[in-house]
């Protein structure tokens, strides 16, 4: 189902002030004395916004049709009196035991037929009619009860849809998949054509014969796999929409959202498709503690989230104050790291900073996950930093509503991610994100802002457009990218882009079919490299993963391979197109090679860093409608760094002195 957006709910930003601050609040785990102390500590920390009730269904409805709202009424009233606004959950992310006992058919089934049982969370399939009946039921009861409550600002629908399990293979899922296929393709002959079922005698006589792509003797039909990924993303979203339809009916003015998991680690869901049904984009992000460049992955996630939000401000719904509990070794955040992380999200468009969770649990499987109030209580480094962050965010109120300025776009497509990594490709070493993140990293280190946008998004106004491993692409999206070059942008397209259409059918006549003309090249044959093999390029650099036989068809060679059988074959080309240019990269250069290419692209396109600063400083600029601009300078290095900017440092209230001390942040309201 799709949601009726008109007249549409109010904006969440009309319901919270400044940069909203808080986290998940799970008071049901605590006695009343602790809940009262919570209110004091929240005041001290400057908390303004909390997600409440996410996992509370079994407490709110202890037996079918009997309700206990006493504790939640009190919590909501107390939060309202404290001036704290609430993202109230539908409580559907963990069905109660009585429901599972009565209706075990709601449980998820995996590809190998395993039924996932209760005792954890998220133990339901979104395509279960019974589950949807119960989930919409509790949603309606909660909505009716709190629709006029002064604390209510936003509906938090379910929680991290698709977390833990994102593809479901039970009988109801199979039926829903078939119905979805029928809507998508219209007729079985159209499906046969789309899936290329003439291959291996896979032709279907009717939709009833189709199954989800479960266990099979060999590789499964790629069209079936791709459509199942599309369906699986849609099924969770359709469930979301059904809950929101109830909320709209009861509280038409209250916006709704759910927390996404946009990052390099979440491939399952097409968030660009989801975005149209969310009233505000909310994202959860967790660092991988052992990654020395985790702040760069954070920036990637935040840039992607902003792209999903169409550039509008978004909510950081969860991150951690310190360690998590689900990585092999759960290192705490270093002193100051939490502030840098939080302000890096704000720098990249977040207007709300929230954590999982307010108070660290003493029982349950997340008891060693950090929180705003640690086990050791108020007198702790973490709580002091939490109070410090609250004070800092208060100072940043003027930033709210401003938008990040970028001259560079990186095209990002979940469908291309899926299609490029389905089995039976020329090389398993071609990973959708690898080159994309290498370019994002290079631009990050230069202080050059990047918007991460869908291939169909308007590319107007971008001077540099990067298209990495966009294996599958529609005609319209390919034209959109070509138009950007014609209009004057410098466009870089990397290998294994434009190979297939949306059905994963190869575009014939030489690779890369969708971009051959734009790039002025033609490729007859791929030469993927064996693991560990490096090729020498004409500029002396090395490359790995991929090479191919590029023939020039209008473009000029900028760099070539040097080794048999590709001696003198172009590895990097440039084609003048209209007022711009289209570059093609046919291999994976080493880090120096990436830098050399980015040097060329930056010089040609004229894109610039947000400011000039010493190495190690993360830079972004947000600009308000009225022209005011805010430069975020986050010093990730161990020494003080110079930043050339002038204005008022909002965090200190003093004029910016030209340097940011080690590990610190400056947010400069520029003159
Ligand atoms: C998220 C989830 C939270 C909590 C957190 C721990 O995935 O939404 O409920 O489990 O992870 O990092």
Catalytic residue among 61, 160, 172, 337: 160
Whether residue 3 is predicted with pLDDT greater than 80 in this model: the reply is: no
Q: Whose C-alpha lies nearest to ligand 1, atom 2?
A: 160
Task: Determine the atom of ligand 1 nearest the C-alpha atom of 54.
Answer: 9
Reading the block at residue 97, the tokens are 């035991």
Mean pLDDT throughout 354-372? Answer: 98
List, as one string, the DSSP characters of 308-374.
HTTTS-EEEEE--SS--SSSSS-PPPPTTHHHHHHHHHHHTTEEEEEES-SB--SSSTTTTS--SB-
Helix (H, G, I), strand (E, B) or coil at 176: helix
Strands (E) located in 346-449 = 350-355, 403-404, 408-411
Q: Which tens digits make up the pLDDT trace of 87-140?
A: 999 999 999 999 999 999 999 999 999 999 999 999 999 999 999 999 999 999
CA of 415 to the centre of ligand 1 (A): 26
Task: Determine the atom of ligand 1 nearest the C-alpha atom of 55.
Answer: 9
Q: Which among 268, 247, 350, 373 is positioned nearest to 304, based on CA atoms?
A: 350
The CATH fold of domain 408-605: Rossmann fold (3.40.50)
Going from N- to C-terminal start, the domains of the chain cover: 42-52+258-395, 408-605, 612-670
CA of 449 to the centre of ligand 1 (A): 29
CA of 380 to the centre of ligand 1 (A): 23
Alpha-carbon distances of 516 from 440, 459, 509, 511, rounded to whole Å? 25, 20, 9, 7
Strands (E) located in 141-220 = 152-156
Contact 454, 310 (CB under 8 A): no
Question: Cβ < 6 Å from ligand 1: which residues?
Answer: 159-160, 163, 284, 286, 318, 324, 356, 366, 369
Whether residue 5 is predicted with pLDDT greater than 70 in this model: the reply is: no
CATH number of 612-670: 2.60.40.1180
Rounded Cα gap, residues 445 and 439, in angstroms: 10
Whether residue 517 is predicted with pLDDT greater than 90 in this model: the reply is: yes
- DSSP alpha helix (H) spans, 461-525: 475-486, 516-519
Q: How many beta carbons lie within 10 A of that of residue 150, not counting itself?
A: 14
φ/ψ of residue 298, rounded to 5: -60, -45
- Counting residues of the chain whose pLDDT is more than 70, the rounded percentage is 99
Candidates 91, 160, 257: which one to mutate for ligand 1, based on the most atoms within 8 Å of Cβ?
160
Q: Whose C-alpha lies nearest to ligand 1, atom 4?
A: 356
Q: How far apart are the first and last CA of the chain?
A: 49
Task: Determine the atom of ligand 1 nearest the C-alpha atom of 324.
Answer: 12
Task: Determine the atom of ligand 1 nearest the C-alpha atom of 326.
Answer: 12
Task: Determine the atom of ligand 1 nearest the C-alpha atom of 261.
Answer: 7
Q: Which tens digits make up the pLDDT trace of 608-619?
A: 999 999 999 999
Q: Whose C-alpha lies nearest to ligand 1, atom 9?
A: 356
Q: Which tens digits make up the pLDDT trace of 460-506?
A: 999 999 999 999 999 999 999 999 999 999 999 999 999 999 999 99
Contact 288, 297 (CB under 8 A): yes
Q: Which tens digits make up the pLDDT trace of 204-229?
A: 999 999 999 999 999 999 999 999 99
Reading the block at residue 246, the tokens are 């109830």
Rounded Cα gap, residues 43 and 27, in angstroms: 16
Q: Whose C-alpha lies nearest to ligand 1, atom 11?
A: 356
CA of 228 to the centre of ligand 1 (A): 26
Known catalytic membership, residue 337: no
Catalytic residue among 61, 167, 172, 318: 318
Residue 314 pairs with which residues in a beta bridge?
350
Whether residue 4 is predicted with pLDDT greater than 80 in this model: the reply is: no
Beta-sheet pairing, 49-52 with 85-89 = parallel
Enumerate residues 6+ apart whose C-beta is below 8 A from 548.
495, 511, 523, 525, 526, 527, 566, 586, 587
Q: Which among 95, 91, 90, 92 is positioned nearest to 107, based on CA atoms?
A: 95
Task: Determine the atom of ligand 1 nearest the C-alpha atom of 159.
Answer: 8
Q: Which tens digits make up the pLDDT trace of 540-554?
A: 999 999 999 999 999
Rounded Cα gap, residues 412 and 107, in angstroms: 33
SS3 content of the chain, % helix, strand, coil (to 5): 35, 20, 45
The mean pLDDT value of the chain amounts to 97
What per-residue confidence (pLDDT) applies to 8?
77
Q: Which among 452, 563, 547 is positioned nearest to 496, based on CA atoms?
A: 547
CA of 357 to the centre of ligand 1 (A): 9
What is the phi-psi region of residue 108: left when phi exceeds 0, alpha when psi lies from -120 to 50, beta otherwise?
Answer: beta
CA of 482 to the centre of ligand 1 (A): 41
CA of 158 to the centre of ligand 1 (A): 12
Sign of CA dihedral 563, 565, 571, 576: positive
CA of 359 to the centre of ligand 1 (A): 13
Q: Whose C-alpha lies nearest to ligand 1, atom 3?
A: 356
Rounded Cα gap, residues 252 and 254, in angstroms: 6
What per-residue confidence (pLDDT) applies to 312?
98
Known catalytic membership, residue 242: no
Q: Whose C-alpha lies nearest to ligand 1, atom 8?
A: 160
Q: Evaluate if pTM is beyond 0.85.
A: yes
Please give the order of strands across the beta sheet that includes 665-670.
Answer: 403-404, 617-623, 629-635, 665-670, 647-649
Mean pLDDT throughout 21-28? Answer: 98
Alpha-carbon distances of 648 from 257, 340, 643, rounded to whole Å? 35, 19, 13
Contact 628, 402 (CB under 8 A): yes
Helix (H, G, I), strand (E, B) or coil at 187: coil
Helix (H, G, I), strand (E, B) or coil at 301: helix
Q: Whose C-alpha lies nearest to ligand 1, atom 5?
A: 356
CA of 622 to the centre of ligand 1 (A): 29
The CATH fold of domain 42-52+258-395: TIM Barrel (3.20.20)
Reading the block at residue 650, the tokens are 């909002």
Contact 537, 562 (CB under 8 A): yes
CA of 152 to the centre of ligand 1 (A): 22
């Amino acid at each position: 189902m799709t949601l009726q957006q008109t007249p549409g709910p109010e904006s969440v930003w009309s319901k919270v002030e400044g940069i909203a601050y808080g986290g998940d609040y799970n008071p049901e785990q605590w006695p009343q004395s602790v809940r009262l102390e919570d209110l004091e500590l929240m005041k001290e920390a400057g908390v303004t916004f909390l997600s409440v009730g996410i996992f509370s269904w079994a407490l709110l409805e202890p037996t079918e049709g009997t309700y206990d709202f006493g504790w939640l009424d009190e919590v909501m009233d107390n939060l309202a009196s404290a001036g704290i606004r609430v993202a109230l959950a539908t409580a559907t992310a963990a069905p109660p035991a009585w429901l599972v006992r009565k209706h075990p058919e709601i449980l998820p089934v995996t590809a190998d037929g395993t039924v996932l049982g209760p005792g954890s969370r998220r133990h339901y399939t979104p395509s279960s009619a019974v589950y949807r009946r119960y989930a919409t039921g509790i949603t309606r009861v909660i909505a009716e009860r709190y629709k006029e409550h002064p604390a209510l600002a936003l509906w938090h629908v379910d929680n991290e849809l698709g977390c833990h399990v994102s593809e479901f293979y039970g009988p109801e899922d199979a039926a829903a998949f078939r119905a979805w296929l029928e809507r998508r393709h219209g007729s079985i002959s159209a499906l046969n054509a789309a899936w290329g079922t003439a291959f291996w005698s896979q032709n279907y006589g009717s939709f009833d014969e189709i199954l989800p792509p479960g266990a099979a003797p060999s590789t499964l039909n790629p069209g079936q796999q791709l459509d199942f990924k599309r369906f699986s993303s849609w099924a969770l979203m359709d469930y979301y929409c059904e809950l929101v339809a109830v909320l709209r009916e009861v509280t038409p003015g209250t916006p709704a959202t759910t927390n996404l998991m946009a990052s390099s680690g979440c491939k399952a869901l097409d968030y660009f498709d989801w975005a149209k049904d969310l009233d505000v984009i909310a994202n959860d992000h967790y660092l991988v503690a052992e990654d020395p460049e985790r702040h760069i992955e954070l920036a990637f996630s935040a840039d992607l989230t902003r792209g999903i939000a169409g550039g509008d401000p978004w909510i950081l719904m969860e991150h951690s104050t310190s360690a998590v509990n689900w990585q092999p070794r759960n290192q705490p955040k270093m002193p100051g790291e939490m502030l840098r992380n939080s302000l890096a999200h704000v720098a990249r468009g977040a207007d709300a900073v929230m954590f999982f969770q307010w108070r660290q649990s003493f029982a349950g499987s997340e008891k060693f996950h950090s929180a705003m109030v640690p086990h050791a209580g108020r007198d702790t480094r973490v709580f002091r930093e939490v109070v410090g962050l609250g004070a800092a965010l208060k100072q940043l109120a003027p930033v709210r509503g401003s938008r990040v300025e970028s001259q560079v776009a990186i095209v990002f497509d979940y469908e291309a991610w899926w299609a490029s990594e389905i089995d039976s490709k020329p090389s398993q070493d071609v990973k959708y994100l690898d080159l994309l993140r290498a370019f994002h990293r290079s631009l990050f280190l230069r202080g050059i802002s990047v918007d991460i946008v869908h291939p169909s998004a308007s590319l107007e106004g971008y001077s540099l457009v990067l298209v990495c491993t966009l294996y599958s692409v529609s005609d319209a999206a390919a034209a959109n990218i070509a138009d950007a070059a014609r209009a004057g942008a410098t466009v870089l397209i990397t290998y294994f882009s434009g190979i297939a259409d949306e059905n994963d059918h190869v575009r014939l006549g030489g690779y890369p079919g969708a971009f051959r003309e734009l790039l002025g090249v033609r490729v007859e044959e791929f030469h993927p490299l064996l693991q560990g093999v490096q090729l020498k390029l004409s500029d002396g650099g090395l490359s790995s993963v991929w090479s191919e036989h590029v023939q020039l068809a209008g473009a000029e060679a900028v760099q070539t391979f040097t080794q048999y059988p590709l001696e003198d074959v172009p590895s990097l080309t440039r084609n003048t197109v209209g007022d711009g240019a289209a570059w093609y990269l046919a291999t994976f250069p080493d880090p120096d090679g990436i830098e050399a290419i980015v040097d060329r692209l930056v010089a040609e396109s004229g894109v610039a860093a947000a400011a000039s600063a010493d190495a190690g400083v993360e830079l972004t600029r947000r600009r308000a409608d009225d022209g005011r601009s805010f430069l975020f300078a986050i010093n990730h290095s161990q020494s003080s760094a110079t930043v050339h900017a002038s204005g008022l440092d909002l965090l200190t209230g003093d004029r910016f002195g030209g340097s940011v001390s080690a590990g610190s942040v400056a947010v400069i309201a520029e003159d």
